[in-house]
Chains A and B, each alone.
Chain A
Amino acid sequence: MPKGDMAGDMAGDMAGDMGGDLAPKIDLQGVGKRFVTREREVEALQPIDLAIQDHEFVALVGPSGCGKSTILNMIAGLLPPSAGVVSYDGAAIGGLNRAVGYMTQKDTLLPWRTAADNVRIALELKCRAMPWDEANERVAQMLTLVGLTGFEKHYPAELSGGMRKRVALARTLIYEPETLLMDEPFGALDAQLKLLMLDQLQDLTRQRRMTVVFVTHDLGEAITLADRVVVFSARPGRIRAIRPVALPRPRDVFRIRFTEDFAHLHESLWDELKDEVTRGTEV
């Protein structure tokens, strides 16, 4: 089934229950999270239900502190939910979920490895049998893809914030995990470079038919890439709205922003989001 159609189908059935034959890839059922620190308890996420299908691209947007990163951490198995169950491929996640590639909000590059070696570590750990030459070639290709040719031998301390993000992106993409979790991957990039990266990401995730959960602050980015956009309320996070993006694929990331459908969707999503953003800052 082509991707555009799938998103279209889901438009009719937004209640969360997807019916029998489509078992979700990632399934959050009544998942909530509260953090207990020394003095106080923070409710980061109120119990939510969210099912993400195989090969689906879902964008999560919402005000700062609403629990977006927390959701990704739970899907990666780095954090247990305090209520409900997170399942992956039908089984509850207990411990690390190694089926996912996770590009975290903070870049977690190894400071003692050069850009190229940071990308290579993914191959060292995931594709152990790969010959050295082939690994080198793939690393070089990947660095070209994210526009970092010439910086292979630079240490993270010698790269800008946006460059470090792109190294992390290359490292996450190089081993082609079946599911990608990305937490504001393009926040530190300028507008033009961001579009180039969005284009690459769309190509790659469609080619490899990846499932993607993508956190962003940028509604345009979310609409450009996603099959569905999930809007969260301010903390404690709840799902405020889920909007399917029925734009046909493949999408022209450079022009789609100027289409009417895009503008409509952007407006309706912004209506949902703006109350939350203002509410979030008042509290």
Chain B
Amino acid sequence: MVRRFDPIVLWQIVVGLLLLAAWEAIGDISGGMWTSRPTLIAVKLAGWLQGSLYPHLATTLTEVVVGVAFGVSLGALAGLVLGRSPIAAGILRPIVVAFYSVPLVALAPLFIMFFGLDMLPKIVLVGTVVFFLLFFNTFAGATSVDQELVAQIDLMGSNRRERFQKVVAPACSPWIIGGIKTAMPYALVAATTGEMLAARRGLGFLLSDAASQFDMTSLYAVLFILMLLGLAISEVTAWAERHLLRWRHAQG
């Protein structure tokens, strides 16, 4: 596919610039006490990019990545196992649902008390949030695997492992990937929330630190970074989805 320049993009840029100009003007008129100003924020960001931002960014990213890795693998595994064994599902699923009824960020103080001030409690929080989303999605997928496909493969002589590997797991892959797509924004929320409560590093820490000092410029700068991070994460997952599930929307 050849990318052609789209005039819409031009208008998007124009509108964006106008909004920034309006913000700058308001900041200029009001003194910028609450609104700060885009130019100040840009200068702040440029300063941070010289070096002081990276430890915070790395901390948040590590928490997200490690938490997601644990949450996805455990959640998908639990969903697959319970989805394929009605007895285990009958016993355990109500328990999982009960735990899920607790607003998960409310667990943050608990994890901080258990695991201290560093990355560990945030990783656990991210992992927990991701685990539940992945569990429910994968469970739905595993219970809806086409039984005719399973029967066909069984008839050809598959054993349990092959049935799982060649039918159940691939049939659930759209559900797992869908789960990851929904979970990623929540993972970022969980990591920053944890950092805002108690941390020495991370974007959430930067945010609450700036707020406590009424440093609006820094606050907006952090929000801007979080926005970029969120966009990047959703772009990457959308790309991965397209790539991994080519067979689904394969139409040319």
**Interface residues in chain A, defined as those with a beta carbon under 8 Å from any beta carbon in chain B:** 76, 78, 96-98, 100-102, 104, 106, 108, 110-113, 121-122, 124-126, 154-158, 175
Q: How far is the CA of A37 from the CA of B19 in the complex (A)?
A: 63
* The one of B148, B156, B250 that contacts A126, using a Cβ cutoff of 8 Å: B156
Q: How far is the CA of A100 from the CA of B171 in the complex (A)?
A: 25
- In the complex, the answer to whether B152 meets A175 with C-beta atoms within 8 Å is no
Most chain A beta carbons < 10 A, residue from B153, B154, B246, B250: B250
**Interface residues in chain B, defined as those with a beta carbon under 8 Å from any beta carbon in chain A:** 146, 148-149, 151-158, 162, 166-167, 170-171, 173, 246-252
What are 15 of the A-B contact pairs (CB < 8 Å)? A78-B151, A96-B151, A96-B154, A108-B152, A111-B247, A111-B248, A112-B171, A112-B247, A126-B157, A155-B247, A156-B247, A157-B247, A158-B250, A158-B252, A175-B156
- In the complex, the answer to whether A108 meets B148 with C-beta atoms within 8 Å is yes
Which residues of B lie under 8 Å from residue A121 when comparing CB positions? 153, 156, 166
Q: How far is the CA of A156 from the CA of B249 in the complex (A)?
A: 11
Which residues of A lie under 8 Å from residue B246 when comparing CB positions? 155
Which residues of A lie under 8 Å from residue B158 when comparing CB positions? 125
- In the complex, the answer to whether A98 meets B157 with C-beta atoms within 8 Å is yes
> How many pairs, one residue from A and one from B, have CB atoms within 8 Å of each other in the complex?
61
- In the complex, the answer to whether B247 meets A102 with C-beta atoms within 8 Å is no
Q: How far is the CA of A100 from the CA of B152 in the complex (A)?
A: 11
Which residues of A lie under 8 Å from residue B173 when comparing CB positions? 112
Top 5 closest A-B pairs, CB basis? A108-B152, A155-B250, A125-B156, A155-B247, A112-B170
* The one of B148, B154, B157 that contacts A104, using a Cβ cutoff of 8 Å: B148
Q: Please, which residue of chain A has its CB at the minimum distance from the CB of B166? A: A121
B146 to chain A, nearest CB (A): 8
Knowing A112-B173, A121-B166, the reply to whether A102 touches B155 (Cβ < 8 A) is: yes
Q: Please, which residue of chain A has its CB at the minimum distance from the CB of B150? A: A108
Which residues of B lie under 8 Å from residue A106 when comparing CB positions? 148
A12 to chain B, nearest CB (A): 36
10 extra A-B contacts, CB within 8 A, seeds A97-B155, A113-B247, A156-B247: A96-B154, A101-B155, A102-B155, A108-B152, A122-B156, A124-B162, A125-B156, A158-B251, A158-B252, A175-B156
